[in-house]
Structure 1
């Protein structure tokens, strides 16, 4: 079922509609204020218009630092749909005040409303992302996050453009006031259709001072290494995104010499790119969390940022006496290349952010998920403020916008390398995703037989040198593969297997110390609740048929009585990586892009595990399809 089917589902659509209408109002309000202050040269508190705009941005972000800790506690302690309705009701009141302020041109009131909208967003953010795992199935969460990202960016685009266009009208203040109030009322109406989401920690005692609970939230996030470093990766996305949106108007006007319509075209291209990347995530990840997309996304972001650095300014045919429109801009080679790079940057940003957001939701402890997401909001706000100061500093150093694009590209590479080095699972999953998605088309039958959590031993027939990669790519939970110690000798493969926490094994006769260490490590991993995968044949099949299963599986279960799940790989015999016909890797590549099936059988209780019975089940599942 496609992620778009969620748009017809009450578990999701009312929440998405509420989010969209709120994000639209935020951006309509901010951009209408910017236009009013800029073009009427209004001063407030003795500040010039440019500084009033900066003040408005700071007032919107300030509540994230002051109240995120409290907001996270509230979201965990109380039922969330009721909280959303209260927040949206207050938004209606705020928009009424904003409308009066626009009509009377009371900028001080508008600045107060900007602060209150920032406060509303502070409380809403941890609720909206923590409610998704409560309403959606695991297979729907990636698609749900993709639709939320798409809706948010389109709301930002439409709100930004509308704020300018409406203010250009003679009746601009009236239109802005009516639309703000109408959309806030529609958001309140939509919120009444959001299903209940019970409190995850109703006994939580709320702390009113901000510092201790803020520190506690970051301590919660540190309990899971991948969650903590994903917050850093998520925050870099907002650093990068806010930098691009700040740079685009200046880049368009001063360097590319284009008009406002072309600038709007850039914003449209960027928004559509984010939407395409986000929506493709579900397909590329087979509807489950695939953090291997994060390195793929970061590489694309680096590549297109670097290209924007290399391109420079377009050369237009003939004399250009006025700002260039979209058609003339796209008539130049550089114009097409800049548009493609902006679109590519946005698409790969979607590949990057959706899995990170889904990881934060899935791997955070449910009892304090909202507080971890609130910690993420604090970091996001901190990085966005840092982006503003960084851009000012780079400008004062004399850097042109293409140079700043290079700095952002290098920053993306640096942040990615730090995260991927500290959490090797990202790169390991990327390798598995490449093999299982690009070299072959892997179809999984019986995925529901795999436990979502807790230990189990997976046993599978052994057809090729890439069996472990295909299984690891098809199954989204981390797996500890038991593999011959000889694979751990190669310079590159050794590092890949170490990052994937593979377990080296040898025969008891050949290397007894490795043999005993392997079984000890298997017991430790199962004791920690992990999945362990073994190939009981102990070698690749030389003829395509399943070899006899060795009794090592029984030794494992005697020490660690956990469920055993039989699996069968089909379609790999005769491939480039199998022993059919000639030595693997030394023959003409065959079956690349072929359909491969992994069938997952029913779990077997530990007391019923026998090697010969497992062999019979695997042979039966594999059938005649080698």
Structure 2
């Protein structure tokens, strides 16, 4: 543990990631709050279009640039790429200052797109670099800290951006904070030592479709890696459905006050963070996937229970204190926390598995392919939710359908288990079966 704490390259990467994720979420939260509540003379339709466009413009670069980003990360020094990405972040948030000061939604939308490009190029590097700066037995811990940092940054950034706009804090101060955080990330990136290229002879391919097909074929040959990618992507789909529908679920379905939503959102973030941090202890520092199907099934059970909340908890909206005093309130609180905690235990070993089970020369490219699939699942979740809700499908029913999908994923990822583990469970089952018949 002492050696891990003293690993300066890792903590430099952690700081770079933490500040970058904070800025991403702070900026987008401030944008949504500004558009929704503080842009005078904007119709509800225009607000919805701006918010939807912001989501799309942030996600689109993950589709467009991830194949190129993965190749660059394998071809060149990863620390150099990180520094250039962080320099671009400083320039992007400086541009956003004009948009916040003059409340220009179109400039802010353009800035969101550039932030999406920044994230698309940073994401493959931040995961693929971990095995380069950590010994294999510490990769699981490293992923746990990174994931916990991501969700901490999401929580602080989302709340901070919304609060600063809601309290009408000076846009100059808001812009100063964005630039300061970007500069802190840049300073951290300069502390990451040079990382030798893993594929110095790699020829950069400009064809998007050709590169995606090539990576698809490669991961198909590595079946367990492909199934890990699908499992990770499904986790983000579930998160997208839950977090996007949680405000309406709180307000219109169980009918409690707004502070209950904030409490459950913080609880969800805290649960994922704690689950991520405890992975190393739970799995005893071993990178293993043998618990993944069971964790997926447990998540499905919790989703089914959340879907059972289909009516108001009281005739009048409950305060946070009254909510926590009720049995149903405690039950929903436990469901949300345990679901997020199990989610942290579920996703961290999968990232570590991919990092350690692909060739080092293809690691960044496979992670970039994973990012494309993740983005596709999240966009599908948003589109499917919109279509189903437009057909008057209730939010509890939507969560119920997601739980059914989670069961299917639990069955699908059984093949991620090593053959030795599958044989072990099969033998156990056969022995039980023959004893029962005897």
TM range (shorter): over 0.9
Asked whether the equivalents of residues 275 and 340 of structure 2 are also in contact (C-alpha less than 8 Å), the reply is yes
SS at match of 1:11: helix
Alpha-carbon distance between aligned partners in 2 of 1:342 and 1:212, rounded to the nearest angstrom: 41
Alpha-carbon distance between aligned partners in 2 of 1:281 and 1:376, rounded to the nearest angstrom: 21
Kindly report which structure 2 residues correspond to 1:168-567, keeping only aligned pairs within 5 A, or say none: 168-313=166-311, 315-316=313-314, 320=316, 323-420=317-414, 422-425=415-418, 428=421, 492-493=430-431
Asked whether the equivalents of residues 92 and 181 of structure 1 are also in contact (C-alpha less than 8 Å), the reply is yes
Asked whether the equivalents of residues 36 and 167 of structure 1 are also in contact (C-alpha less than 8 Å), the reply is yes
Partner of 2:436: none
Alpha-carbon distance between aligned partners in 2 of 1:492 and 1:344, rounded to the nearest angstrom: 33
1:419 Cα deviation after fit: 2.5
Which TM-score applies when normalising by structure 2? 0.94
Alpha-carbon distance between aligned partners in 2 of 1:259 and 1:284, rounded to the nearest angstrom: 36
1:56 Cα deviation after fit: 0.5
Greater share of strand:
1
SS at match of 2:278: helix
Q: Deviations over 1:285-327 (max 9, x none)?
A: 11010211212321221111111122444534xx63xx53321
Partner of 1:84: 82
Alpha-carbon distance between aligned partners in 1 of 2:399 and 2:43, rounded to the nearest angstrom: 35
Alpha-carbon distance between aligned partners in 2 of 1:385 and 1:81, rounded to the nearest angstrom: 30
Distance 1:303 1:430, change over 3 A: farther
1:426 Cα deviation after fit: 8.3
1:153 Cα deviation after fit: 0.6
SS at match of 1:258: coil
Distance 1:394 1:6, change over 3 A: farther
Partner of 1:97: 95
1:279 Cα deviation after fit: 1.8
Asked whether the equivalents of residues 142 and 358 of structure 1 are also in contact (C-alpha less than 8 Å), the reply is yes
Q: Which runs of 5+ in 2 are unaligned?
A: 434-438
More contact order relative to length (CA 8 Å, sep ≥ 6): 2
Alpha-carbon distance between aligned partners in 1 of 2:68 and 2:183, rounded to the nearest angstrom: 26
CA RMSD across the alignment: 2.4
Asked whether the equivalents of residues 64 and 378 of structure 1 are also in contact (C-alpha less than 8 Å), the reply is yes
SS at match of 2:196: coil
Asked whether the equivalents of residues 214 and 375 of structure 1 are also in contact (C-alpha less than 8 Å), the reply is yes
Partner of 1:570: none
Asked whether the equivalents of residues 137 and 285 of structure 2 are also in contact (C-alpha less than 8 Å), the reply is yes
Q: Deviations over 1:134-157 (max 9, x none)?
A: 111111111110111111011111
Partner of 1:443: none
Distance 1:493 1:389, change over 3 A: farther
Asked whether the equivalents of residues 75 and 201 of structure 2 are also in contact (C-alpha less than 8 Å), the reply is yes
Which TM-score applies when normalising by structure 1? 0.66
Alpha-carbon distance between aligned partners in 2 of 1:35 and 1:43, rounded to the nearest angstrom: 15
Alpha-carbon distance between aligned partners in 2 of 1:358 and 1:221, rounded to the nearest angstrom: 16
Count of aligned residue pairs for this structure pair = 434
Asked whether the equivalents of residues 32 and 164 of structure 1 are also in contact (C-alpha less than 8 Å), the reply is yes
Asked whether the equivalents of residues 28 and 160 of structure 1 are also in contact (C-alpha less than 8 Å), the reply is yes
Asked whether the equivalents of residues 82 and 122 of structure 2 are also in contact (C-alpha less than 8 Å), the reply is yes
Asked whether the equivalents of residues 289 and 417 of structure 2 are also in contact (C-alpha less than 8 Å), the reply is no
Q: Is 255-264 or 374-383 further displaced after alignment?
A: 255-264
SS at match of 2:236: helix
Asked whether the equivalents of residues 292 and 430 of structure 1 are also in contact (C-alpha less than 8 Å), the reply is no
Q: Which runs of 5+ in 1 are unaligned?
A: 433-486, 496-626
SS at match of 1:35: helix
Q: Which has the larger radius of gyration?
A: 1
